[in-house]
Amino acid sequence: MKNKQVAKLLREIGDLLELRDVKFKPYAYKKAAMAIESLSKDVSSIYKEEGLKGLKKISGVGQSIAEKIEEFLKTGKIKYLEKEKKELPVDIDELTAIEGMGVKKVQKLYKKLKVKSVADLKKAIKQKKIRRIAGFGEKSEERMLESMSFVKKTKKRMPIGYIFPIVSDLVKQLKQLKQVQKIDVAGSVRRMKETVGDVDILVATKNPKVVMDSFTKFKGVKRVIAKGATRSSVRLETGIQVDIRVIPLNIYGSALQYFTGSKAHSIAVRKIAMKKGYKLSEYGLFKGKKVIASRTEEEIYRKLGMQCPPPELREDTGEIEAAQKKKLPTLVNPKDIKGDLHVHSKWSDGTNTIKEMAQAYKKAGYKYIAITEHTGSLKIAKALDSKRLLKQVAEIKKINRQVPGIRILSGCEVNIKADGNPDISDKILKQLDIVVAAVHSGFRSNNTKRIIKAMENPNIDIIGHPTGVLIGKRAPYSLNFDNILDAAKSSKTALEINCFPTRMDLGTFHIKEAVDAKVMLAIGTDAHSVDHVRFMASGIGLARRGWCSKGNLLNTMTIERLKKWAR
DNA sequence: GCCGTTTTCGGCCCGACTGTTTTCAGTCG
């Protein structure tokens, strides 16, 4: 996937143009960057299939930007960008990562002090040179220095699965204030994005001051970045930034709509409002000075002639058109989920017994779980060989009698060897209810053939964490995903939505492609302890982001239908 | 640089907070 790289380069061009005070072009480049970043298809495959014409079909991409993308795909660089960079050799990315530093300030500091990097900036601050420049002062120096130490942390996005407990703790603290009339988490958390940069919380109250004062003093708050009557920002000890917005109850809907985003979705919706002669802001939908909708999101979208898209779809990747045509899909719901198809126990690298896991899932309302331990050649602690696997099958039969009300399926997470064969014999796999197969080695090679070979094995039901990505740690291995989808369809193999927080694999884009190709999907938490049962929530969110309906997921089947499907 | 069932030219989403200013530019979301 080249999309992220392309987006970054275009954004850099935008920044450089902004530095030079060029009008409007920066906006165009950044808009194009945003569109490419949220594209469901790889730009290089678009280019391969349809050439320059295909690139120009991307919203925000015209002749000039298309040519620059083409140049990058062919040569690995963009001459225009290299030239611009030579004239302004500034590490914009690094410098603007500092709180309160934007391109204009970077420009000023370069012109006046030849500041090119964070190191230069640090030196200039130490020499007290910054404060002598118009627009800067002693306080700016202080602020910059302070935020430099946070830069590394802030640039990192956190997996959503790890954000939930932190967020729910904050919400709980806020709910205890009697002044809080209504509260919601907005932003990327509400949209259930795989990773979260910062957390947005919306509160309705008649008494903003009390809410703001308490919030900025909550436990876990390390630093107050900004504090005002309607908006405050803090950084938690965990490094996460939390923004809180306080508004009166009568504009709750428009505020929630606005603060949920995404930015691309918000801009697109505002433009629809403009076309109808309205103005949309967080304060409501206006006709002239008259408010015509503000209490609920549904009301606003209705007045704009569209359905209200579920938050998970709000990325401007087709949901707006679908909402206008009243053709939004009915997304899968938590209550549709009957089972978890990827669970570990003490038998391999988990921390709880099978019985404990089953009881935890039963308590959470599940009808079945599949115990899927690591197998054979995998060097992970206590991987199961054929003998232990068969022993576990017998053991599970016993536990099934001890824990009524939930059905434990025998399975495994079999290792796909380099040649595409499983590292447990078919004779054994045949005796299991559900077989998840996954790649655990050879991350640097193209694994398309290997996975297709595995899918053609009739004993393999699900391909686990299909792209091998680890958030913030490992890039996905190279795959021809179109070929994977074809093979999944013809071999009737499901692809996993592994929602262990550091995996989130498949991700949004690939899920949507699988849904479009009518390939079955299976959510698996990859739970290694009873505390991991809750990861299902982000798995469902991820499935919804990929436009999954009930019918796209194995987990929504009854146990009878699932077993039939597996056979 | 991009875009258009009002436009192929003339516009580009909107508002809060901060630090520096004496009324606002820059940044952020």
CATH for the stretch A334-566: 3.20.20.140
User: Has domain A3-154 been given CATH number 3.90.1150.10?
Assistant: no
- Nearest residue to B24, CA vs C1'? A135
Confidence of residue A164 (pLDDT cuts 50, 70, 90): confident
Which nucleotide is closest to A227, CA to C1'?
Answer: B17
Q: Smallest CA–C1' separation from A245: which nucleotide?
A: B16
Give, in Å, how far the C1' of B23 lies from the CA of A210: 30
pLDDT bracket for residue A103 (50, 70, 90): confident
Give the residue whose CA sits closest to B6 at C1'.
A275
| DSSP one-letter code for A346 | T
Task: Provide the phi-psi class of A507: left if phi over 0, else alpha when psi is between -120 and 50, else beta.
Answer: beta
Which residue is nearest to the C1' sugar atom of B3, using CA?
A60
Give me the residue spans of the domains in chain A: 3-154, 158-247, 251-324, 334-566
Residue whose CA lies closest to nucleotide B12 C1' = A24
Tokens, residue A544: 């919804």
CA/C1' separation A248–B22 (Å): 32
Res. A41 pLDDT band, cuts 50 70 90: confident
- Residue A231 has phi, psi (to 5 degrees) of -140, 135
Q: What pLDDT digit, counting tens, does each position of A113-140 carry? A: 888 888 888 888 888 888 888 888 888 8
A229: nearest nucleotide, CA–C1' criterion:
B16
Asked whether the predicted pLDDT for residue A78 surpasses 80, the reply is yes
pLDDT for the residue numbered A510: 92
Q: Contact A538/A501 with Cβ under 8 angstroms?
A: yes
| Å separating the CA of residue A28 from the C1' of nucleotide B10 | 15
Is 80 exceeded by the pLDDT of residue A391?
Answer: yes
Q: What is the pLDDT of residue A310?
A: 96
CA distance A406 to A408: 7
Say how far apart CA A446 and CA A351 lie, in whole Å: 33
Range name among A72-81, A155-164, A211-220 with the lowest pLDDT average: A155-164
Confidence class for position A151, pLDDT limits 50, 70, 90: low
d(CA A206, C1' B2) / Å: 44
Question: Stretch A71-94: mean pLDDT, rounded?
Answer: 85
Question: CA(A112)–C1'(B9) in Å?
Answer: 38
- For residue A473, count other CB atoms closer than 10 A to its CB: 7
Residue A154 is predicted with a pLDDT of: 46
Among all strands, which nt has the closest C1' to A17 (CA)?
Answer: B1
What CATH topology corresponds to A251-324? Answer: Beta Polymerase; domain 3 (3.30.210)
Q: Which of the four pLDDT bands, split at 50, 70 and 90, describes residue A523?
A: very high
Dist CA A519 CA A512 (whole Å): 10
Which nucleotide shows the minimum CA-to-C1' distance to residue A270? B13
A135 CA to B16 C1' in angstroms comes to 19
pLDDT attached to residue A8: 85
B3 C1' to A182 CA distance, Å: 40
Nearest residue (CA) to C1' of B11: A24
Mean pLDDT of A189-199: 91
Q: Rounded to 5 degrees, what angle do the CA atoms A367, A369, A372 make?
A: 170
Q: What long-range pairs does A302-311 form, CB within 8 A, spacing at least 24?
A: A303/A278, A304/A269, A304/A272, A304/A273, A304/A276, A304/A278, A305/A272, A305/A276, A306/A272, A309/A265, A310/A544, A311/A190, A311/A191, A311/A192, A311/A260
A40 versus A60: which is more confidently predicted?
A60
Alpha-carbon distance of A340 to A274, in angstroms, equals 45
- Protein CA at A140 to nucleotide C1' at B20, angstroms: 10
Better-predicted residue by pLDDT, A411 or A143: A411
Amino acid at the residue A20: R
Residue nearest to nucleotide B16 (CA to C1'): A231
Separation between the CA of A208 and the C1’ of B25 (whole angstroms) = 28
pTM attached to this predicted model: 0.86
**Stretch A352-364: mean pLDDT:** 96
pLDDT value at residue A443 = 80
Which residue's CA shows the smallest distance to C1' of B5?
A275
CA–C1' nearest nucleotide, residue A141: B19
Mean residue pLDDT across chain A = 89
Q: Residue A445's pLDDT band (boundaries 50, 70, 90)?
A: confident
pLDDT at A173 > cutoff 80: yes
Closest residue to B20 measured CA to C1′: A135
Nearest nt to the CA of A197 via C1' is B29
Structure tokens at A489: 């369809």
Q: Which residue is nearest to nucleotide B25 (CA to C1')?
A: A135
Instruction: Kindly indicate whether the domain formed by A158-247 is annotated with CATH number 3.30.460.10.
Output: yes
pLDDT band at A150 (very low <50, low <70, confident <90, very high): low
Torsion of CA A426, A428, A430, A432, to 10 degrees: -140
Nucleotide nearest to A101 (CA to C1'): B27
User: A287 CA to B26 C1', in Å?
Assistant: 30
Å between CA of A139 and C1' of B24: 18
> In the prediction, which pLDDT does A145 show?
82
Is a pLDDT exceeding 80 seen at residue A380?
no
Q: How far does the CA of A157 sit from the C1' of B11, in Å? A: 36
Could you tell me where the beta strands, DSSP code E, fall in A362-428?
368-374, 407-415
Confidence of residue A157 (pLDDT cuts 50, 70, 90): confident
pLDDT digits (tens, 9 = 90+) for A290-318: 899 999 999 999 999 999 999 999 988 88
CA to C1' distance (Å), from A34 to B11: 21
Bases of chain B below 7 A from a protein C-beta are 1-3, 6, 11-21, 25-29
Report, as an integer, the average pLDDT of A311-335.
92
Q: Model confidence at A235, in pLDDT bands (50, 70, 90)?
A: confident
